[in-house]
Chain A
């Protein structure tokens, strides 16, 4: 350990000055301390914390000193260093405890801004990736409505995942203008990154609308436990635990690490009542480790059309089409649809089945073989992958009904989408899909009992009165838009954590 106070860089000094007002009991002392230099300032800050014993200040000073968010063990080490320090040598011990942190940063030469009593929203994935399925759709629909309307700071993470940063213009567009911005050619020269600048929320609300990448879980868990910021998150589902057999083991590993953030967070907004119950269940389990329950509120996703779509006109009198939308994987239960279809074709019913959605090769290879075998027998079944929204919407327009017999969903977007398109749905009679069905237009089945799927499909194929009845139920459903969701999420998740209610 050779770092001394004298060697603290100019940028470290600037960072300490930035965090000092939030640590000094009497901020009026700052100009004097600043004038006396980094050693005096750091000693004063450490003395404050030795007396305040505040975890949030330990966290903040660690960030100020190193330009890097501390991991949970590093906060504990720093706290222990202060507890055990001998008088004047406290700053040496504190430096030593945070030294490992400093060596982990990409550069110590970073500038820092504290966002005090603000709303900081981590949209790292949407800002840096072009994927646009379930979670990204929710994030982009919501952020495009909050951006410019509400006082928020959108952030991503530094390359090493140890500090928050503001988004650049392109990243902001990816998050807030998905339907209108243009992704630049990959060969265009990139914006030259200047001196790194980090964003440090303090006494703020930190919203996690995404499920963070695995490398961010530990640093976010630390932020939630120690930083004093109020952390709120959107709770999507607990599929990787509850239905662990349907996902790769790595997905479960990732999710249990995510739960290490959840357990120290302050509020969860579930995307359905079922998802909310998942997080309440986890919260219930926390009493065994002496942690307070994490409250969860339901803010259900809307029944909304894909952007720029209009309700489908029912198609003419060709062979009825049954549409099955969603990624192809065991949890979505497409094989049960194939089985039910085959049984009904053998009964002599005439209909077409179309699957739309992608999937991993480990499943789709076998699935495609089963499709091929049915095609060979003369049955009308097809799989569309990688199609654009227009093709999807045209399929809805053509469909007699859609079917979504998933074993487990946090929400069941294809059900909502089908209803938004005015197309009746056969779906699972529990959890989030059953919740959506309450508003009408759905036939509920038990996805574990394929004969209930057979019965429902048969009924909707032969009974036009039933179809008409379901279509009129759909027409009578109260409408709920992304605008509604964005407002309700703000009121349900952000306001309770300290943000202003007014727009």
Chain B
């Protein structure tokens, strides 16, 4: 780091601590002026000092170590040493001469992953729809992280476009790649799932020490509560996300079920002397995508077998989605001589071997079952609309999106009688079953498929559901974060 950089960083620190200060003075004097603020400094000032002088967001250990140094040594000496060499003499500051930008009184929204991904699964859809609504009526700053996940930066125009609309998944971090953005007296919102260590450890320290208010959209705690249904590695990453969340001020969960998971986790914090954030459920809306007649016909052709009534099952084949139960229930009904076709729309996933095996057996036996991996909007919404009913017997969901989507287009759904799925179905249109009981699932499917009265009643109920829009949702989350006590 050059003397010039050291000087610039000290000047930024002083201007932040003392807006309007004259920074056009010799470096030694700059150190002395900043030093005034660092005699037994509060945690937020320690954090800021480290962030600005170190040109990255600090982790907890570094904040605590610097805080202790300020007790043991003269502030000016510590400051001079840190500005030159960093907090730990053993780990020199990056040679970079980058200078940070401190932003204040801003709503900073961290969409690092959403800005870079080509995926459009549940979480990305929630993030995109929500921030798109927010940008219409509020000033927000969309941010991501640098490549080593050590500091925040403003998104490039292309990245922002992808964050909002998912239309530029390969946007580089062109224009502002070198920026280091430091929020100060800001509101920080994390609307996506962050599980990378370097990122979550810095978010945790920021939430604990920086004085910025931090808020989170909470999707579920499945990696903690249903580890047996997910692949290895997720549990540790998610637990460290929770370590950060423990220092947040508010979590807006996407359902009451997710709120009960987060509340259970918050009960566990007492043993570590922490109280944790406020938690409130802000229920997600659901889209009702429209399709043309031609797309409808194409969907029927792709998904159904002949003229048989169609049962549609949307979602990846991971164990938690319980697709083996769907196959078993269907086989029970086929063995009873019932005539219908079954289609799965969703990607392959970890732990799907037995599903694939059973599927192959049924296909070999000539059962009318199909699977489609490549999902298009036309196929998805066409499928929801041509289906006689859908089925979604998941073991655990933060929000069963396919339940909401099926009901939004008026198609009955057979789903799990608890958690978020039961919450969605409470307004009608669903048959609730125990997803751990294949026979119950089979009889639920039989009612929805073959009992005309039941099917008609469910369709009437689904059609009568109140419509909740993304605008409603985004407003509710915003109000919870910013206006509710």
Residues of A within 8 A of B (CB): 72-73, 76-77, 79-80, 83-84, 218, 221, 237-238, 240-245, 249-250, 252-253, 255-257, 259-260, 263, 274-275, 277-278, 280-290, 330, 339, 342-343, 346, 407-410, 428-432, 446-448, 450-451
Contact = CB atoms under 8 A, between A and B. Distances in A.
Contacts of A408: 271-273
B445 to A, nearest CB: 14
Nearest to A272: B271
9 smallest A-B Cβ distances: which pairs?
A285-B264, A281-B267, A249-B236, A290-B418, A244-B239, A430-B273, A284-B264, A256-B227, A256-B235
B419 A342 contact: no
A252 B235 contact: yes
B260 A288 contact: yes
Contacts of A260: 226-228
Contact of A83 (B68, B271, B439): B439
Residue in A249, A253, A290 whose Cβ sees the most chain B Cβ within 10 Å: A290
A281 B264 contact: yes
A407 B272 contact: yes
Interface string B235-277: 1110110110010000000000110111111111111110000
Contacts of B243: 242-245
Interface of B: 60-61, 64, 67-68, 71-72, 197, 201, 204, 220-221, 223-228, 232-233, 235-237, 239-240, 242-243, 246, 257-258, 260-273, 319, 324, 328, 331-332, 335, 354, 395-396, 398, 416-420, 434-436, 438-439
Contact of B396 (A253, A289, A450): A289
Interface of B is mostly: helix
Contact of B220 (A237, A253, A288): A288
A80 B324 contact: yes
B236 A253 contact: yes
Contact of A290 (B224, B228, B239, B419): B419
Contacts, number: 177
B419 to A, nearest CB: 5
Contacts of A430: 270-273
Contacts of A245: 60, 201, 204, 240, 243
Nearest to A270: B271
A20 to B, nearest CB: 26
A450 B271 contact: no
Which of B204, B227, B243 counts the most chain A CB atoms within 10 A?
B227
Nearest to A71: B228
A288 B422 CA distance: 10
A290 B225 contact: no
A476 B268 CA distance: 32
A35 to B, nearest CB: 35
A281 B268 contact: yes
A118 to B, nearest CB: 28
Given A84-B331, A245-B243, A282-B264, A288 B419 contact: yes
Given A253-B233, A450-B68, A431 B267 contact: no
A279 B436 CA distance: 24
A283 B260 CA distance: 10
A247 to B, nearest CB: 9
Contacts of A275: 271
A79 B332 CA distance: 13
Given A241-B265, A281-B267, A430-B273, 13 more contacts: A73-B319, A221-B228, A242-B268, A249-B237, A278-B268, A281-B264, A288-B225, A288-B418, A288-B419, A290-B434, A407-B272, A408-B271, A430-B271
Nearest to A263: B225
Contacts of A287: 257, 260, 418-419
Contact of B265 (A73, A263, A281): A281
Contacts of A76: 324
Contacts of B68: 339, 450
Contacts of A450: 64, 67-68, 71
Nearest to A410: B271
Nearest to B71: A343
Most buried by B among A242, A257, A278, A288: A288
A413 to B, nearest CB: 15
A285 B273 contact: no
Contacts of B272: 242-243, 407-408, 430-431
Contacts of A451: 71
B278 to A, nearest CB: 16
B267 A277 contact: yes
Contacts of A409: 271
Given A245-B243, A253-B235, A259 B227 contact: yes
A241 B268 contact: yes
A233 B208 CA distance: 34
A84 B271 contact: no
A367 to B, nearest CB: 13
Nearest to A84: B331
14 contacts: A80-B324, A241-B242, A242-B268, A242-B272, A244-B236, A274-B270, A281-B266, A283-B264, A287-B257, A288-B220, A343-B71, A408-B273, A430-B270, A430-B273
Given A289-B418, A290-B418, A218 B228 contact: yes
Nearest to B240: A244
Contacts of B268: 238, 241-242, 277-278, 281-282
B270 A77 contact: no
A84 B71 CA distance: 73
Contacts of A284: 260, 263-264, 267
A119 to B, nearest CB: 27
A447 B273 contact: yes
Contacts of B224: 241, 256, 259, 285
Contacts of A281: 264-268
Contacts of B246: 242
Contacts of B438: 79-80, 83
Given A80-B438, A288-B396, A277 B270 contact: yes
Contacts of A447: 273
A83 B331 CA distance: 10
A192 B85 CA distance: 64
Contacts of B439: 83
B419 A238 contact: no
Nearest to A339: B68
A256 B236 CA distance: 8
Nearest to A255: B235
A252 B235 CA distance: 7
Nearest to A261: B228
